[in-house]
Amino acid sequence: MAKIGVFVCHCGENIASKVDTGNLVKALSDHPGVEICNEYKYFCSDPGQETVKRAIRENNLTGVVVAACSPRMHETTFRKACAEAGLNPYMLELANIREQCSWVHSDKDQATEKAIEITRSLVEKVKRNNELKPISVPVTRRALVIGGGIAGIQAALDIAGAGREVILVEREPSIGGHMSQLSETFPTLDCSQCILTPRMVEAIQHPNIKVLTYSEVEEVDGYIGNFKVKVRKKARYVDMDKCTGCGDCIQKCPVKKIPSEFECGLGNRTAIYTPFAQAVPNVPVIDKNRCTYFKNGKCKICQKTCQIENCIDFEMQDTYEEFEIGAIVVATGFQIQDTTLYGEYGYGKYKDVITGLSFERLASASGPTAGKILRPSDGKEPETVVFIQCAGSRDPSKGVKYCSKICCMYTAKHAMLYAHKHHDGNSKIFYMDIRAAGKGYDEFTRRAIEEDEAEYLRGRVSKVFEENGKLVVRGVDTLLGKPVEVKADMVVLATAIVPQPDAKEFAKKIGIGYDEYGFYNEAHLKLRPVETATAGIYLCGACQSPKDIPDSVAQASATAAKVLGLFSREQLEREPVVAAVGESTCAGCWGCVSACPYNAIEQKEIRDRNGNLVKEVASVNPGLCQGCGTCVTFCRSNSIDLAGFTEKQIFAEVMAL
Amino acid sequence: MGIQEQYRSEAAALLSSGEVKLVIGFGAGSTADRRRPLFARTPEEAQKFVLDAACIANLSTYLVAEGLLSDGKKVGVFLKPDGIRSVNILISEAQLKPEQVVILGYAIESGKDVAALEGRNISDFSIGEKIRKLTPPPHVIEAAEKIEAMSAEERFEYWKEEFSKCIKCYACRQVCPMCYCRRCIVDVNQPQWVSTSSHTLGNFEWNLVRAFHLAGRCASCGACDRACPVNIPLRLVNYRMGKEVRSAFDYVAGENSDQKPVLASFKQDDPETFIL
C-alpha cells in the first residue's frame, strides 16, 4: 500500500498569497494513498527538511511529494532529505505550484484549484515511482578548448596550469584571435600584442597544452566526461615539425598582392604566409586557392627556396585526429557585421570609409602603416576624422537590436590615439549614448573628451558622400536639434559585433543552443553564465555575446573553474533516468537508433536456447543514455520506457487532472 | 504473349527452380471486377495467377507477415510502383532484406492497360525520380483541396463527422504494409493510451495516431481507403501528412531503400518552425 507524504510549502508569501494552502492540505489529505499532509512556511529550511525526514521515519512513507517550487530549485535538497531518512531519493516528486501556478495566476480560487490538481497528479505519479540508483560513469580528465583567441588561450592556460591536459583547436593558421589585430587596449592603452603574445607563447610551450592550429572540430559525440571529438587538421603544405620559421619561402613567393585578412585588406600577403609576424606557431601555410602551383601546376618556388628537405609538401592532405575529452570549452569568438548593410555610409565606395577594426590596424605599431594613421586612399594624414558609433548596433530596422558593448570604448580610444598621433587633428564622434560602465571606463571616455578634445555629437548620421575630395558626413545633432554637416578626411564605422558566420551550424554540430542571432546560449544568464544547457560544454568570450577583453578573460577563467571542478572527480554520478526497450514488442525498425542524439541505442540479437536467431531488437546503453526521451516519443509500438518517467507514471499524472 | 501469361510462366519458373518458396500474386475474386491475393507454392498454382487492371491491391503487406521471411528464403511478389515504394520503406526500416524479395513489377496505365516493369530486385527499380513527379489520382487531389479550402472549424467538423463512422475494426491497420508492429499502440492497455470504444474521442485518438505514425512513411497505395468498411476517406489524411513532410523536409517516402526515417533523423538544414 502506498503511503505518501505531501508537504505544502508557502514559500513565504510566494505561494501562500495566491494559493489557499489550507484548502490544498485539506484536499490532499483526503486523496487515496496520502498518509500525511502538512504545510509550512519554508520546507527548504532546516526545520522544514527535518519535518519531512521525521514524517518519513514515523509514518514509514513510501513516497514524498513536496508541493513547492520548480524541481530545478530544490529537487536535490529534498532528495537528500529523503535519502537521509532512509527513503530512496527517487521516491520524491516536486509539485511545482510556484512557477507554474502561484506566480502566474491572479485569481486565488482558481490558483488553489490548479495547485490541488498539480499536487494530486504528482501523488498519482509518485505512487508508481520505482526505486532507482544513480549511474556512475568515469571522467576523462582532458579538456578541449575550441577557439584560440584570448578567451580560449586563457581557459587553456588555467586548465593546464592546474595540471590537466588541454587540446586547443584554432581554425586560423595562428592562435591569437581578434586581440592580436588590435592596437592599444582600453582603458589602460597598453599595446595589445605586447600583452597577448606572452600568453600565446605560454600556451604553445605549455607541456599540458596541445595546440592544433589550422584545424577544425568535425564531430563531437558522447556526453559529459566522455566526449569523443574528431578534429580535422587542414593541410598546411608545410611540415610543422621541420619548419624553422625562417620566412625565406614567404620572401620568395611570387604572389604578393593578396589582401591580407589580418590587415583587414590594408596590407598584402603572399600565397605562402603567416598571418602576422608574431604568429604562433610561426609556421606558414599555403593558401591553396591563391598559390600559383595549385592553380597552374607550375611554380614551387617556395619549395626550391626552402633549405629543409621535404618541409614544403604539396601532396599534403587533411588529416583527422580523434580525442577522448571530458569537458569542452567553446570560445569561437565573433565577426564584425557586413558593412554593405549601410550603403549610405559609403563603405566600399569610398576608400577612406573604414571599419573600427581597420582603424586598429592603422593605429597598430605592427600594422601596414607602422602605426601612422593615414588615409587608405592617398596615404595622407587625415585632418578630420568622423567616427560613427552604432553603425549596425541598436538598430532594429537595419542592423541588430543589441548593443555591441565595446564600440563606445574603442571609439573613445581611437579618438585618443588619433589625438596622440596628430596633435592638430579633429575627431568628431556621432553617438547615441556613451556606454562606459566598467572599471576605469567612464574616466577613459571623459579623458577622450576633456584632454584629447574628441567632439561628441549626439545623433545619427544619415549619409556620407564625397564632395571636392572630402567626405561629407551629414547627420543630426539632437542636443542642438539641428542638422550638421562635417567635412571629413576619414570616416570610421563602429560596426556591430556579430556571431561567426557558421556559428549556428557549429552549435548544431556540437549540440548547444543559440539565440536568434547565433550567439551561444548559457544555461542561466545569471546563475550559470558559463555553462551551456548541454552538460560538460562551457562558453566563454564573444561567442556568447559581445564582450571586451576583461570580460572575456574573466569568463574564460570561470569556465576553467567549472572544468576543473568536473575534473576533480574520477567518477561522475548520473541520473538513472535512462530508457529501456521492451524486447518482446520491439519491431526492430531502428527508428530509435537514428533518432537518438547520443548514439546510445544499439541493435541486439535475440536467440532461442539452441542459438537460432529469433529477432533483432533495440537495446539502450545506459552509460550513454541521457534520458531525453526522444526514442520514447518516436517508438510507434510504444516499446521504450524511461525510468523515472514511465508511461504508467505519465499516464497516471495526466489522468489525475 | 500477354503480361498475364508471361508472369504466370515466370512465377512458375521461379517456383520450379526453387529460387523462391512462394509467389504472392492475384487470383480471381468473388465478382468479375475483383481480385483476391493468391499464394502460389507450386508451378501449377502459378497458372492461376490473374494480372489485369483490377489488380490494384498492394501485396507488399503480406511480406511482413510474422515469420514469413525468417527462414532466409526468397519470396516473389506482384507489385505496382506503390508497392515497390512500400518495399523501399520496409527495407529502410529493416523489416525486409532486399535479397529476399523478387519483384514481378507491373504498372496499370490509364486505368486499363497493364505493362511489365523491368527488373526483379528492388535495386533495379530506380523509381525515385518518377515518384517525385507522381501525382495522386485527380479525385484524391480534388477531395484534398476541398478540405484544405475549409476553415479550421469546418475541417474539424468534417473529420468529426467522418471519424464518427469509425467502428474501430482496424481494417486500415491490417491492410497497411507499414503497420508491421507486432503490438500496435492501440493494443497497449497498461496504460490504455487509446481508448477502445468507438466514440468521438477514441476515434479521433486512433485515426490521428495512425496518421502521425504514417507521416513520411505512406506509399499512397490507398489500401486503407479501400479497406475501410464505412468509407472514411483515410487516404486524404495520409496524403496531407505526406504533403506536409515533403514541404518541410523535401522528403518523399519510398524513393529508395537507403532513406533514413524522416521523423527520426536530423539534418542541419531542417526547418525549426516549431521553435518560437
Q: Which of B91, B92, B188 should we substitute to test contact with A (largest number of A Cβ atoms within 10 Å)?
A: B188
B264 neighbourhood in chain A, CB within 8 Å: 591-592, 594-595, 634
Both B8 and B91 in a single domain?
yes
B10 with B121, same domain: the answer is yes
Residue range A165-211, pLDDT digits in tens: 999 999 999 999 999 999 999 999 999 999 999 999 999 999 999 99
* B167 within some domain: yes
CA distance A514 to A543: 10
Q: Which of B181, B261, B268 sits opposite A594 (nearest CB)?
A: B261
Distances (CA, A) of A264 to A192, A284, A355, A376: 17, 19, 9, 11
Asked whether A400 and A393 are in contact (CB, 8 A), the reply is yes
Could you tell me if A402 and A393 are in contact, meaning their C-beta atoms sit under 8 angstroms apart?
Answer: yes
B95 found inside a domain: yes
Give the cell for residue A420: 596622440
Task: List A residues 532-591 in contact with B (Cβ-Cβ < 8 A).
Answer: 584-585, 587-591
- The answer to whether residues B9 and B121 belong to one domain is yes
Neighbour-count burial of A469, counting CB atoms closer than 10 A to its CB (0-12 exposed, 13-18 middle, 19+ buried): exposed
CA distances from A253 to A284, A292, A302, B153 (A): 12, 9, 6, 73
Residue whose entry in the numeric block shows the C-alpha cell 586548465: A159
Q: Does A647 touch chain B (CB under 8 A)?
A: yes
- Non-local (6+) Cβ contacts of A113 within 8 A are none
Say whether the peptide bond before residue A281 is cis (omega within 30 degrees of 0): yes
Q: What is the pLDDT of residue B276?
A: 62
The 3-state DSSP class for residue A271 equals coil
Strand partners for B72: none
Task: Output DSSP code: residue A69.
Answer: S
- Claim to verify: residue B148 and residue B117 sit in the same structural domain: no
% of chain A surpassing 70 pLDDT: 100
Query: Mean pLDDT across chain B, nearest whole number?
Result: 91
Cis before A207? omega within 30: no
**Domain tally, chain B:** 2
C-alpha cell at A343: 550603403
> B150 vs chain A: nearest CA distance in angstroms?
30
Asked if residue B231 lies in contact with residue B171, where contact means CB atoms within 8 angstroms, the answer is: no
For helices A192-205 and A150-161, angle between their N-to-C axes, nearest 10 degrees: 40
A167, A605 Cβ separation under 8 angstroms = no
- Average pLDDT of span A222-246: 94
Which residue among B104, B125, B146 closes a domain? B125
**pLDDT-based confidence at A527, cuts 50/70/90?**
very high
Q: What are phi and psi of A62, to 5 degrees?
A: -100, -10
Question: Cβ of B94 and A637 within 8 Å?
Answer: no
pLDDT in tens, A293-345: 999 999 999 999 999 999 999 999 999 999 999 999 999 999 999 888 889 99
Give the strand pairing for A215-223 and A226-233: antiparallel
Q: Is B187 helix (H, G, I), strand (E, B) or coil?
A: helix
Identify whether the C-beta of residue A583 lies closer than 8 Å to the C-beta of residue A635: no
> Residue B3 and residue A644: Cα distance in Å, rounded?
59
Record: contact B93-A616, CB cut-off 8 A: no
| Cis peptide upstream of residue B191 (ω within 30 degrees of 0) | yes
Q: Is the pLDDT of residue A512 over 70?
A: yes
Q: Which residues of A touch B91 (CB under 8 A)?
A: none
Q: Are residues B258 and B197 in the same domain?
A: yes
A628 to chain B, any CB pair closer than 8 A? The answer is: no
DSSP line for A464-508 = EEEETTEEEEEEEETTTTEEEEEEESEEEEEEPEEE-TTHHHHHH
Is the alpha carbon torsion for A29, A30, A33, A35 positive or negative?
A: positive
Beta carbons of B193 and A505 less than 8 Å apart: no
What number of other Cβ atoms are within 10 A of residue B184's Cβ?
21
User: A165-169 and A209-212 as β-strands: parallel, antiparallel, unpaired?
Assistant: parallel
The H or E element that residue A121 is part of is helix A108-127
Report the Cα A154 to chain-centroid distance in Å. 15
Residue A32: pLDDT over 90:
yes
Contacts of A639 in chain B (CB under 8 A): 183
Residues A250/A258, Cβ–Cβ less than 8 Å:
no
Strand partners, A350: A347
pLDDT (average), residues B30-51: 95
Q: Using alpha carbons only, how large is chain B's radius of gyration in Å?
A: 20
On the question of pLDDT at B60 being above 90, the answer is yes
Interchain pair B264, A508: CB under 8 A: no
CA distance A371 to chain B (A): 44
**Strand, coil or helix: A323:** strand
DSSP assigned state of B56: -
Q: How confident is the model over A450-501, as pLDDT tens digits?
A: 999 999 999 999 999 999 999 999 999 999 999 999 999 999 999 999 999 9
Can you tell me the distance from the alpha carbon of B255 to that of B265, in angstroms, rounded to the nearest whole number?
16
- C-beta separation of A5 from A55 below 8 A: yes
Cα dihedral sign for A464, A465, A471, A472? negative
- Computed over every residue of chain A, the mean pLDDT equals 95
Task: Tell me the nearest-neighbour CA distance from A584 into chain B, angstroms.
Answer: 9
* Domain presence at residue B258: yes
Q: Which three cell numbers stand for residue A308?
A: 629543409
Pick from B190, B193, B264: which is nearest to A594 by CB?
B264
Report how many Cβ contacts below 8 Å link chain A to chain B.
60
Residue with cell 500496435: B184
Give me A465's grid cell: 558622400
- Let me know whether B192 and B107 are in one domain: no
B21 shares its domain with B110: yes
List, for residues B63-87, the tens digit of each pLDDT value.
999 889 988 999 999 999 999 999 9
The answer to whether residue B52 sits within a structural domain is yes
B212: closest chain A residue by CA: A636
Residue B184, pLDDT > 90, answer yes
Q: Once rounded to an integer, what is the mean pLDDT over residues A547-572?
A: 96
Q: Considering only CA atoms, which of B142, B138, B31, B37 is closest in space to residue B83?
A: B37
pLDDT at residue A586 is higher than 80: yes
Confidence of residue A623 (pLDDT cuts 50, 70, 90): confident
Nearest residue in B to A631, CA atom: B264
A585:B182 CB<8 A: yes
Under the phi-then-psi rule, with left for phi > 0, alpha for psi from -120 to 50, and beta for the rest, what region is A453? left
Angstrom CA distances, A396 to A368, A391, A476, A517, A547, stand at 35, 12, 19, 12, 20
b or e along A526-553 (b: 16 or more beta carbons within 10 Å of the residue's beta carbon)? eeebbbbebbbbbbbbbbbbbbbbebbb
In a shared domain, residues B117 and B66: yes
With contacts defined as CB-CB under 8 Å, which chain A residues touch B182?
A: 585, 587, 637
Q: Let me know if residue B206 belongs to a domain.
A: yes
Residue ranges making up the domain that contains B234: 138-264
Round to whole Å and give the CA distance between A184 and A551. 17
Question: B210, B171 in Cβ contact below 8 A?
Answer: no
From the list B100, B101, B75, the residue with the least C-alpha distance to B22 is: B75
Question: Of the candidates B125, B153, B174, which is a domain's last residue?
Answer: B125
ipTM: 0.90
Nearest Cα residue in chain A from B275:
A516
Residues of A in contact with B184 (CB under 8 A): 637
Confirm whether B59 is domain-assigned. yes
B24: left (phi over 0), alpha (psi -120 to 50) or beta: beta
- Asked if A636 is an interface residue toward chain B (Cβ–Cβ < 8 A), one would say yes
Q: Confidence class of residue B268 from pLDDT cuts 50, 70 and 90?
A: confident
The minimum CA-CA distance between B182 and chain A, rounded to whole Å, is: 6
- Same-domain check for residues B248 and B220: yes
* Whether B156 and B80 share a structural domain: no
DSSP three-state, residue A591: helix
The C-alpha atoms of residue A639 and residue A642 are separated, in whole angstroms, by 10
pLDDT tens profile A594-622:
999 888 899 999 998 998 888 899 999 88
Q: Are strands A190-191 and A184-185 parallel, antiparallel or unpaired?
A: antiparallel
Mean pLDDT for the stretch of residues A217-233: 93
Asked if B264's CB is within 8 angstroms of A595's CB, the reply is: yes
Inter-chain CB proximity B180 and A585 less than 8 Å: no
Q: Tell if the CB–CB gap between B181 and A594 is shorter than 8 Å.
A: no
Q: Which residues of B touch A518 (CB under 8 A)?
A: none
Is A369 within 8 Å of A442 (Cβ atoms)?
A: no
Distance CA A424, CA A413 (A): 17
Orientation of helix B138-148 relative to helix B234-249, angle to 10°? 80
Phi then psi dihedrals of residue A601, to 5 deg: -110, 130
Rounded to 5°, angle at Cα B25 from B23 and B28: 135
Cβ contact A588–B95 (<8 Å): yes
Check whether residue B9 and residue B41 sit in a common domain: yes
Structure confidence by residue, pLDDT tens digits, B115-174: 999 889 998 887 777 777 777 788 888 999 999 999 999 999 999 999 999 999 999 999
Domain presence at residue B190: yes
Buried/exposed A18-33: b ≥16 CB within 10 Å, e otherwise: bbbbeebbebbeebee
Query: What value does the mean pLDDT take over residues A126-137?
Result: 93
CA-wise closest residue to A336 among A441, A269, A410: A410
pLDDT on residue A626: 85
Domains of chain A: 4-127 (3.40.50), 142-234+318-333+500-567 (3.50.50.60), 336-498 (3.50.50.60), 579-655 (3.30.70.20)
Confidence of residue A562 (pLDDT cuts 50, 70, 90): very high
Give yes or no for A648 touching B (CB within 8 A). yes
Burial of A84: CB neighbours in 10 Å, binned 0-12, 13-18, 19+: middle
Residue B133 maps to a domain: no
A384-411 pLDDT, tens digit per residue, is 999 999 999 999 998 999 999 999 999 9
Q: Which of B125, B149, B171 is the last residue of a domain?
A: B125
Locate the chain B residue with the closest alpha carbon to A509. Answer: B268
The confidence band for B1, taking pLDDT boundaries of 50, 70 and 90, is low
CB atoms within 10 A of CB A318: 13
Nearest residue of B to residue A654, measured between CA atoms: B193
From chain A, pick out residues whose CB is under 8 angstroms from the CB of B268.
Answer: 505, 508-509
**Do residue B174 and residue B220 come from a single domain?**
yes
